């Protein structure tokens, strides 16, 4: 009897193991989190994605690597997507797709939008306060929202 139960349990676990692969999703963030990562947006917003890729935001994590500070929470928080949030960046090995400042830093966690673009939950135009979470008075004293926001998707 006992071994019968164990066999059933093993079969169940075996199926559960394959769910992420069978679902066709290729990143941990896509499977478990509320953040999709920029690749999930690229499918439908090619122009904005190509523009964003030319910005400093896209390489914000590379900047940390250059000085070997990519593992310091004090630095990571402003250089990745969703640090310290459910389904957000954990580290470069586990969630490489959430490295850098991306679409969802400005437009919000968008898993729901990806599943249903018409649900109206996306942040259409990020306001100054949102930028100021990272472009703080200490970090970026001369930050000029009106001037800088024009470069959100490149020039």
Which residues, numbered 17-46, are part of the site for ligand HEC (CB under 6 A)? 36, 38, 40-41, 43-45
Span near ligand HEC by CB under 6 A; candidates 3-11, 15-23, 52-60, 89-97: 52-60
Question: Residue 3 CB, nearest distance to ligand HEC (Å)?
Answer: 47
Binding residues with ligand HEC: total (CB under 6 A): 53
Q: What DSSP assignment string belongs to the chain?
A: -HHHHHHHHHHHHHHHHHHHHHTT--SHHHHHSS---HHHHHTT-HHHHHHHTTSGGGGHHHHHHHTT-TT-HHHHTTTBSSTTSTTS---TTT-GGGBSS-HHHHH---HHHHH-GGG--S-SS--HHHHHTTS-TTT-TT--HHHHGGGBTB-
CA dist 26 and 6 (Å) reads: 30
Residue span 116-145 as binding mask against ligand HEC, x where in contact by CB under 6 A, dash where not: -xx---x-xxx---xx-xxxx--xx-----
Q: CB-wise, 9 or 71, nearer to ligand HEC? A: 71
Among 30, 49, 82, 97, binds ligand HEC (CB under 6 A): 49
SS3 string of 48-68? HHHHHCCCHHHHHHHHHHHCC
Residue 89 touching ligand HEC (CB under 6 A): no
- Residues lying near ligand HEC in the complex (CB under 6 A) are found at 36, 38, 40-41, 43-45, 48-49, 52, 56-57, 59-60, 63-64, 67, 69, 72, 74-75, 77-79, 101-107, 110, 113-114, 117-118, 122, 124-126, 130-131, 133-136, 139-140, 148-149, 151-153
């Amino acid at each position: 009897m006992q071994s019968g139960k164990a066999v059933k349990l093993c079969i169940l676990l075996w199926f559960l193991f394959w769910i992420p692969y069978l679902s066709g999703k290729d990143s941990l963030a896509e499977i478990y989190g509320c953040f999709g990562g920029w690749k999930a947006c690229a499918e439908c917003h090619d122009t904005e994605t190509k523009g964003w890729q030319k910005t400093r935001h896209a390489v914000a994590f590379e900047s940390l690597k250059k000085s070997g500070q990519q593992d310091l929470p004090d630095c990571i928080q402003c250089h990745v997507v969703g640090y310290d949030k459910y389904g957000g960046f954990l580290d470069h090995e586990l969630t490489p797709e959430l490295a850098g400042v991306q679409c969802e830093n400005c437009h919000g966690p968008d898993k729901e939008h990806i599943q249903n673009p018409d649900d109206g939950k996306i942040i259409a135009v990020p306001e100054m306060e949102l930028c100021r979470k990272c472009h703080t008075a200490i970090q970026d004293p001369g930050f000029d929202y009106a001037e800088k926001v024009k470069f959100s998707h490149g020039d």
